[in-house]
Amino acid sequence: MASMTSDLPYLRLGVNIDHVATIRNARGGDHPDPVRAAQLAVEAGADGITAHLREDRRHISDQDIERLKAEVERPLNLEMAMTQEMLGIALKAQPNACCLVPEKREELTTEGGLDVAKSSNRLPKFSEPLRDAGIRISLFIDPDSKQIEAAAAARADIVELHTGAYCEAVIDGEDLRARGELEKLSRAARQAGELGLEVHAGHGLTFDTVRPVAALSQVVELNIGHFLVGEAIFGGLHSTICRMRALMDNARASASGSASA
């Protein structure tokens, strides 16, 4: 698909390579190597690499984080829970950004956003040392005005809006619910932009769900993982990422005429 140009800010693609590690770990050993996947993703047009080091190490390992930082020439966005262990690892690894996420052992994936409003006492213990080390602070939140206000009050650099509810509504074929969830994302992106927060979005995005999110003018980065790794089985990682990139660029270009400031 030919990509078009857009007047909106460039929309970065962060590729989350966690599930390359999930497949590797199914058998132990070294194959497939998430660092090799990250390098291939960069060749295909990824602007950054995202990895979630979970407490139970179910996919990405500590060594993967060290190698991603050392061997991949793009910014690393480290997703992590607010624990002392993760803080120590982040300070040592020095990623470009840390995306703070809620984490439950029993969940299959990050199920909801961080309750920033409720974490206001705890958050600075993690965000301040990261900020002092020059690491950007991103908070993964639901598209909710209270969470956005709390993120701005917590002096976050970035909010990453959880797109899971919107994507699920699309998959369920519930158009009205999908439109409602998209409207929440749109309002949240506007509010976050007005408060000076950089706006990212992600979770559950696919070829079928990415366009309306990519068209939101305040959103400057999408983080996409599970679909890209799964679809790569059929189309190859390079061509899957190129197609996602083209869909994002085209959505951006189509929206640029009608974008709200």
Active site residues: 52, 79, 203
Nearer to ligand PXP, 95 or 204 (CB): 204
In the bound complex, what is the minimum distance in angstroms from residue 261's beta carbon to ligand PXP?
27
Nearer to ligand PXP, 77 or 191 (CB): 77
Which H/E stretch holds residue 158?
strand 158-162
Residues that bind ligand PXP (CB under 6 A): 16, 18, 52, 79, 99, 101, 109-110, 140, 160, 202-205, 223-227
Cβ-proximal residues to 121 (8 Å cutoff; 6+ apart), any chain: none
Nearer to ligand PXP, 77 or 186 (CB): 77
Q: Is 150 exposed, middle or buried (0-12, 13-18, 19+ CB in 10 A)?
A: buried
In the bound complex, what is the minimum distance in angstroms from residue 34's beta carbon to ligand PXP?
13
Cα angle: 45, vertex 47, 49; to 5 degrees: 110
In the bound complex, what is the minimum distance in angstroms from residue 213's beta carbon to ligand PXP?
11
Start-to-end CA span in the chain (Å) = 28
C-alpha–C-alpha distance, residues 137 and 2, integer Å: 35
**Cβ 151 vs Cβ 141: under 8 Å:** yes
Please report, for residues 53, 67, 81, 179, 261, the alpha-carbon distance to residue 70 in angstroms, rounded to integers and kept in the order given.
Answer: 16, 5, 22, 42, 39
Nearer to ligand PXP, 101 or 189 (CB): 101
Nearer to ligand PXP, 2 or 26 (CB): 26
In the bound complex, what is the minimum distance in angstroms from residue 157's beta carbon to ligand PXP?
15
In the bound complex, what is the minimum distance in angstroms from residue 226's beta carbon to ligand PXP?
3
Directed axis angle between helix 175-194 and helix 164-171, to 10°? 160
